[in-house]
């Protein structure tokens, strides 16, 4: 589409979704009710202690930590789409940057909360900030999660400034307060060449900055596990293994969001089949890399079967977790890769369903990284009471975990409702720029 | 310099904001004081005195008994070590329950600092074929031997390395302790400990009033709160007074030996020098000060 010639149409099209519909209200109410229920569940956990979860002395980390890793992982896609594809000058990815950044910001921000949920004494959280020991990987994690959240927010905000100006001018039917807010946030943007230069330089600097930070955030998250000596975590490839896994779940999340916005916001002309085709191909690429790391991670210790590794791997390959392990590998990784090789499955609806499988697999994969290793302690004492060794999450725990998802969806919903989900100014400006060249 | 200032003022603002929240939530001064209490390691003698005095009052209110809470520091020239005679241990678990009683462990939910593993003589020390859930009429049962595991008091502890707030550390006499008022309950130490020696208070701990031990140490057996980690401290409240840990005292077969590793005349030194000694998971380089040996 030629954005310059159709400027008015583009603006009208992209601003059209910014009004509150009935289905939006219903969806939002559903999320808020869900969140309230899980806040209630969390209040029970505060009152009664972490004993309301399925965690006990042997499996001390469970669903919460797995969920935390998943959240951090999914947030990494912002860096992949905006920074990597952006800096490489890949044009088709430009309309997807805002979706990716919103996902990145929401997941990274909530990841911080997820880890607080797991704390036995959240009232002492400030100790970590004021008296933190930098020798502990938890501190590294905290630092990079916060940094990444801030940079993601900036990377969402900078390209948004001109769009906010457009919003404040063109959204005549919006609430005056809402328009005022747009104007305020647009920082008196006037499309001045100097402003354009500043903003472009800013975006470029942030795009470069976010790459090492995004790599760090997930590498450090993997080190949280890899620095211990537990079989299953004691691995040197955990950093890249986690990072590539993160791209898989993030890419899948973007495909899900694309499908949703394309349908509900009537953006078929902007998020076209081409975008699904390209994103699906990207998903193949990152899944293949992830598969490669999976083979490394399991084949090599599986070949040696050292004493304690053997206990762990037996549980995964043929024991208690075999169904989940093989399910994740086959339905969450191998079959999606094979299916996406065919053009038919790279169409919007098909890739939506495949992405759904991939993202569920990605979540379960994090669960598999955390729980089975915890269940096989360094001293594998057999025949302990069942609730000591075999972990199964309780209803309260699941409700609280769901709550974190609801909160993320609320953030994504609000941001994508009140902001143009496709960057207007950037698209128009880039196509102008392209002509000048 | 300017940065330093702004960071300080930022921290101050955070602190003020949290006071305000606390004040609004109707907490009294005492709760506030407890909230603001510093890490035990950094407290002055005066502050420690005040805190342990307040603790004794609190416990009296709660349990209706006189308590003696100590904050006695490590004795000069001591490094505690422990040795356990695998040939003698009969697996009677008296140590487990003596420990529970001495150290005010929670009865419900139940916390045990000592875990006695039953092993097969044919297999030797093989954790994969061990169980802590043995229940014969009479111990020792035929063809088995017993290996009690508690905190190994490593010289190179993994648990203190990973702690994000230094709520757990190694004292000069080698005992790894926890400041229960400082622990944030992240349980990273439990994930890092290769011996499963750390235990978490999954709920509010309950101790029957008539069984509570009133001789306490701040870093040891004082009643814990929910959401914090606890562990064996070699009975810090006893050993710093020159007594044996209660598991050593209760052991009916004399399998448990304890002493000062720096004292060449001590029994523990005799064992290390003259017996075949082993430590658990030597390959992990945690360097435990808890040794196992075969007396015969």
Q: Are residues B181 and B233 in the same domain?
A: yes
Task: Give bridge partners of residue B118 from the DSSP assignment.
Answer: B131, B146
List the domain range (segments joined by +) for residue A198.
Answer: 7-429
Q: Tell me, rounded to whole angstroms, the distance of Cα B268 from its chain centroid.
A: 20
Are the beta carbons of B181 and B58 closer than 8 angstroms? no
Q: Are residues B161 and B233 in the same domain?
A: yes
Confidence at residue A436, expressed as pLDDT on a 0 to 100 scale: 40
Confidence at residue B147, expressed as pLDDT on a 0 to 100 scale: 94
Confidence of residue B6 (pLDDT cuts 50, 70, 90): low
Confidence at residue B96, expressed as pLDDT on a 0 to 100 scale: 95
d(CA A271, CA A99): 11
Residue A53, min C-alpha distance to chain B (Å): 9
**More confident position, B288 or A174:** B288
Are the beta carbons of B174 and B289 closer than 8 angstroms? yes
The answer as to whether A189 is a domain residue is yes
Nearest to B184 by CA among A116, A421, A412: A116
Measured between beta carbons, the chain B residues lying within 8 angstroms of A118 are 186-187
Task: Report the chain B residue with the minimal C-alpha distance to residue A132.
Answer: B165
The answer as to whether A436 is a domain residue is no
Residue B133, min C-alpha distance to chain A (Å): 6
At residue B30, does pLDDT exceed 80?
Answer: no
Measured between beta carbons, the chain A residues lying within 8 angstroms of B11 are 129-130
Say yes or no for a CB contact (<8 Å) between A136 and B161.
yes
d(CA A173, CA A98): 24
Of the candidates B37, B64, B91, which is a domain's last residue? B64
Radius of gyration of chain B (CA): 21
Q: Are residues B231 and B98 in the same domain?
A: yes
Q: Are residues B48 and B102 in the same domain?
A: no
Confidence at residue A301, expressed as pLDDT on a 0 to 100 scale: 92
At residue B14, does pLDDT exceed 50?
Answer: yes
CATH code of B71's domain: 3.30.70.20
Q: Are residues B34 and B161 in the same domain?
A: no
Cβ–Cβ contact B200 with A under 8 A: yes
Secondary structure class of A173 (helix, strand, coil)? coil
Residue B264, min C-alpha distance to chain A (Å): 33
Confidence at residue A428, expressed as pLDDT on a 0 to 100 scale: 79
Confidence at residue A375, expressed as pLDDT on a 0 to 100 scale: 85
- Residue A109: burial class (beta carbons within 10 Å; 0-12, 13-18, 19+): buried
DSSP state of B200: E
Q: What is the pLDDT of residues B97-156, one digit of tens each?
A: 999 999 999 998 889 999 999 999 998 888 877 888 888 888 899 999 999 999 999 999
Which percentage of chain B shows pLDDT scores above 70? 91
Q: Are residues B257 and B114 in the same domain?
A: yes
Of the candidates B16, B32, B64, which is a domain's last residue? B64
Q: Are residues B17 and B160 in the same domain?
A: no
ipTM: 0.89
Instruction: Count Cβ atoms below 10 Å from residue A39 Cβ, excluding itself.
Output: 14
Measured between beta carbons, the chain A residues lying within 8 angstroms of B279 are none
Task: Report the chain B residue with the minimal C-alpha distance to residue A121.
Answer: B184
For A246, the token pair is 């993160």
Torsion sign over Cα B159, B164, B167, B172: positive
Task: Give bridge partners of residue B217 from the DSSP assignment.
Answer: B70
For A176-191, b/e burial (b = at least 16 CB within 10 A) is eeebebbbebbeebee
What is the domain count for chain A? 1
Of the candidates B29, B64, B99, which is a domain's last residue? B64
Confidence at residue A56, expressed as pLDDT on a 0 to 100 scale: 87
Q: What is the mean pLDDT of each run of 10 residues along chain A (437 residues)?
A: 70 84 92 96 95 90 95 92 88 91 95 92 92 93 92 93 90 85 89 90 93 93 93 92 95 95 89 94 96 95 88 89 95 96 94 96 95 78 60 94 96 93 82 51
Q: Which of A125, A129, A377 shows the shortest C-beta gap to B196?
A: A377
Residue B269, min C-alpha distance to chain A (Å): 27
**Range in A139-148, B26-35, B261-270, B281-290 the model is least confident about:** B26-35
Q: List strands edge to edge, sheet with B277-278.
A: B256-260, B80-85, B290-293, B277-278
The answer as to whether A241 is a domain residue is yes
Q: Which residues contact B39 (CB under 8 A, 6 or more apart)?
A: A131, B165, B166, B167, B179, B182
Q: Which residues contact B165 (CB under 8 A, 6 or more apart)?
A: A124, A127, A128, A131, A132, A133, A136, B39, B182, B183, B184
The answer as to whether A2 is a domain residue is no
The answer as to whether A146 is a domain residue is yes
Query: Concatenated DSSP letters for A129-168?
Result: HHH--TTSHHHHHHHHHHHHHHHHHHHHHTTHHHHHHHHH
The answer as to whether A435 is a domain residue is no
What is the maximal distance between C-alpha atoms in chain A?
74
Q: Are residues B17 and B142 in the same domain?
A: no
Dihedrals phi, psi of B277, to nearest 5 degrees: -115, 145
Q: What is the pLDDT of residues B35-77, one digit of tens each?
A: 888 899 999 999 999 999 999 999 999 999 999 999 999 999 9
Q: Which of A51, A128, A228 shows the shortest C-beta gap to B184?
A: A128
CATH code of A253's domain: 1.20.1630.10
Q: Which of A51, A120, A383 shows the shortest C-beta gap to B187?
A: A120
Say yes or no for a CB contact (<8 Å) between B185 and A50.
yes
Q: Are residues B174 and B102 in the same domain?
A: yes
Q: Are residues B23 and B106 in the same domain?
A: no
Q: What is the pLDDT of residues B148-169, one digit of tens each?
A: 999 999 999 999 999 999 999 9
Model confidence, pTM: 0.91
Nearest to A31 by CA among A106, A117, A111: A106
Measured between beta carbons, the chain B residues lying within 8 angstroms of A385 are 133
Secondary structure class of B68 (helix, strand, coil)? strand
Q: Are residues B58 and B69 in the same domain?
A: no
Confidence at residue A435, expressed as pLDDT on a 0 to 100 scale: 43
List the domain range (segments joined by +) for residue B10.
Answer: 2-64
Q: Are residues B42 and B135 in the same domain?
A: no
Q: Where are the alpha helices (DSSP H) in A158-272?
A: 160-170, 176-185, 193-226, 238-264
d(CA A121, CA A143): 20
Nearest to B85 by CA among B235, B247, B283, B237: B247
Confidence at residue B2, expressed as pLDDT on a 0 to 100 scale: 45
What is the domain count for chain B? 2
Q: Which of A50, A61, A126 shows the shortest C-beta gap to B202?
A: A50
Confidence at residue A380, expressed as pLDDT on a 0 to 100 scale: 54
In a mutagenesis test of the B interface, which of A114, A118, A139, A378 is the best target, namely the one with the most B β-carbons within 10 Å?
A378
């Amino acid at each position: 589409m030629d954005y310059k010639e159709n400027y008015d149409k583009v603006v009208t099209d992209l601003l059209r979704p910014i009004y509150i519909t009935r289905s939006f209200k219903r969806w939002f109410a559903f999320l808020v009710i869900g969140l309230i229920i899980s806040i209630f569940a969390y209040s029970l956990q505060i009152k009664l202690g972490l004993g309301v979860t399925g965690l006990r002395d042997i499996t001390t980390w469970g669903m919460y930590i797995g969920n935390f890793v998943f959240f951090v992982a999914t947030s990494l896609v912002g860096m992949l789409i905006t920074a990597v594809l952006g800096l490489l000058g890949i044009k088709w990815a430009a309309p997807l940057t805002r979706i990716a950044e919103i996902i990145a910001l929401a997941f990274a921000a909530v990841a911080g909360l997820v880890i607080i949920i797991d704390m036995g004494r959240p009232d002492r959280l400030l100790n970590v900030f004021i008296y933190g020991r930098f020798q502990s990987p938890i501190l590294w994690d905290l630092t990079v999660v916060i940094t990444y959240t801030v940079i993601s927010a900036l990377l969402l905000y900078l390209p948004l400034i001109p769009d906010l100006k457009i919003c404040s001018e063109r959204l005549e039917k919006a609430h005056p307060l809402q328009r005022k807010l747009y104007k305020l946030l647009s920082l008196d943007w006037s499309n001045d060449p100097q402003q354009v230069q500043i903003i472009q330089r800013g975006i470029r600097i942030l795009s470069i900055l976010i790459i090492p930070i995004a790599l760090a955030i997930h590498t450090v998250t993997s080190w949280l596990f890899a620095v211990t000596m537990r079989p299953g975590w004691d691995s040197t490839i955990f950093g890249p293994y986690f990072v590539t896994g993160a791209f898989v779940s993030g890419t899948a999340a973007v495909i899900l969001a694309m499908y949703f916005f394309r349908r509900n916001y009537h953006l078929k002309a902007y998020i076209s089949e081409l975008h699904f085709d390209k994103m699906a191909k990207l998903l193949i690429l990152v899944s293949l890399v992830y598969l490669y790391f999976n083979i490394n991670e399991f084949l090599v210790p599986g070949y040696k079967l050292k004493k304690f590794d053997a206990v762990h791997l037996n549980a995964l390959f043929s024991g208690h977790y075999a169904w989940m392990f093989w399910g994740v590998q086959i339905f969450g990784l191998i079959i999606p890769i094979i299916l996406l090789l065919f053009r038919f499955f790279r169409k919007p609806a098909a890739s939506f369903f495949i992405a759904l499988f991939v993202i569920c697999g990605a979540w379960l994969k994090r669960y598999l990284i955390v729980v089975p290793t915890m269940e096989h302690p360094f001293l594998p004492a057999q025949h302990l009471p069942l609730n000591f060794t075999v972990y199964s999450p309780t209803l309260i725990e699941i409700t609280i975990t769901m709550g974190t998802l609801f909160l993320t969806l609320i953030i994504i919903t609000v941001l994508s409702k009140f902001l143009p989900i496709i960057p207007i100014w950037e698209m128009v400006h880039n196509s102008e720029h392209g002509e000048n060249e | 310099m300017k940065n330093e200032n702004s960071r300080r003022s930022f921290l101050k603002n955070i602190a003020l904001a949290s006071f305000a929240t606390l004040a609004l939530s109707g907490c009294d001064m005492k709760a506030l004081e407890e909230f603001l209490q510093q890490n035990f390691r950094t407290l002055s003698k005066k502050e420690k005195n005040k805190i342990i005095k307040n603790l004794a009052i609190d416990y009296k209110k709660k349990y209706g008994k006189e308590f003696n809470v100590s904050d006695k520091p490590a004795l000069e020239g001591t490094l505690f070590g422990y040795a356990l005679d695998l040939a003698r241990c009969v697996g009677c678990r008296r140590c487990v329950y003596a420990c529970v009683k001495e150290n005010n462990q929670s009865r419900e939910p139940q916390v045990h600092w000592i875990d006695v593993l039953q092993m097969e003589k044919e297999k030797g020390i093989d954790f994969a074929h061990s169980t802590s859930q043995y229940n014969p009429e009479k111990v020792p049962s035929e063809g088995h031997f017993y290996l009690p595991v508690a905190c190994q008091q490593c010289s190179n502890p993994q648990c203190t390395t990973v702690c994000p707030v230094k709520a757990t550390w190694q004292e000069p006499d080698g005992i790894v302790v926890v400041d229960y008022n400082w622990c944030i309950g992240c349980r990273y130490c439990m994930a890092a400990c290769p011996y499963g020696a750390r235990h978490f208070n999954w709920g509010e701990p309950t101790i029957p009033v008539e069984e509570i031990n009133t001789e306490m140490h701040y870093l040891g057996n004082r009643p814990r709160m929910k959401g914090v980690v606890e562990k064996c401290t070699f009975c810090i409240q006893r050993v710093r007074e020159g007594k044996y840990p209660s598991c050593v005292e209760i052991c009916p077969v004399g399998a448990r030996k304890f002493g000062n590793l720096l004292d060449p005349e001590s029994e523990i030194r005799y064992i290390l020098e003259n017996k075949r000694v082993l430590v658990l998971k030597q390959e992990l380089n945690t360097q435990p000060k808890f040794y196992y040996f075969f007396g015969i």
